[in-house]
Amino acid sequence: MQFSVFMRVQLVLIACSAVVLMMLFPVGGAIDLHLIASWVDATGQFHHRDNWYLAKLNHVIVKNIIIGVYAVFFVLWLASFKMTRLAAQRWQYGYMFWVSMLCTSIVGILKSQSSHACPWNMTHPAAQGFVWDFSATHGHCFPGGHASTGFALMTGYFVYRATHHRRALFYLFAGLILGFAMGWAQMMRGAHFLSHNLWTGWWAWSINCLIYLWAARHLGTRHQHS
């Protein structure tokens, strides 16, 4: 696909997906509440909140492994200034690291300024079970920060989309699968609604499209077919 056509498709995709998210997946809407209902008990408690597989394996170990992948690209980028055989890939290494970090950082900034509370802070005991308190503003919970570490792997798709098609698809699907899986695990704990993580994926993709519009020529892809 030619670069110009690819970017027009992405613009339409970003705009349409934003409308879909706003209309069908409002924060704390019917879909959010339906999907999280399986993980909250009759008193409003999330008993999987401290589950080892979710709190330790997912939230710490898996995240650190992915951070390690980004660290490898950072080291390769630094090494490319000293090692001639790596110099040709300097833009690829640098793009992968810095744009991935930009994705997670922007999501983190948005989250830090958000008034949306985490689900586990929104349930209150009632005479018959519990109620959701949508006025809770303890916030700093939207979009989903943890999932951004996984979704940011989609950056690799843009790095390799024209020069290494299979590698590009690997990063695309790895980012989608890990982002959704990490986000879903957080939903099971009560840390996020599904909508939080869908918006995280949207931001990661949109940021990449914006940067790629400028950086594609440095990656050697502007006039090539994928």
| Each residue's pLDDT tens digit, 3-32 | 889 999 999 999 999 999 999 999 999 999
Q: Which residues in 207-222 are b (16+ Cβ under 10 Å) and which e?
A: bbbebbeebbeebebb
How confident is the model at residue 162, as a pLDDT? 84
Q: Where are the domains of the chain?
A: 3-20+61-215
Helix pair angle (3-24, 194-215), 10° resolution: 160
Residue identified by tokens 């914006």 is 210
Rounded CA gap, 75 and 32, in Å? 40
Which helix (H) or strand (E) segment is 129 a member of? strand 129-132
182 or 139, higher pLDDT = 182
Rounded CA gap, 118 and 83, in Å? 47
How confident is the model at residue 139, as a pLDDT? 82
Burial (CB count within 10 angstroms: exposed 0-12, middle 13-18, buried 19+), residue 7: middle
Mean pLDDT of the chain: 94
Does residue 120 carry a pLDDT above 70?
yes
Does residue 88 carry a pLDDT above 70?
yes
How confident is the model at residue 60, as a pLDDT? 98
Rounded CA gap, 187 and 52, in Å? 15
Does residue 53 carry a pLDDT above 80?
yes
How confident is the model at residue 138, as a pLDDT? 67
Does residue 220 carry a pLDDT above 90?
no
| Each residue's pLDDT tens digit, 170-209 | 999 999 999 999 999 999 999 999 999 999 999 999 999 9
Mean pLDDT on 77-93: 96
How confident is the model at residue 224, as a pLDDT? 42
| Each residue's pLDDT tens digit, 158-169 | 999 988 999 999
Model confidence at 127, pLDDT cuts 50, 70, 90, reads confident
Tell me the chain's radius of gyration from C-alpha atoms. Answer: 19
How confident is the model at residue 226, as a pLDDT? 37
Instruction: Report the Cα 92 to chain-centroid distance in Å.
Output: 20
| Amino acid residing at 188 | M
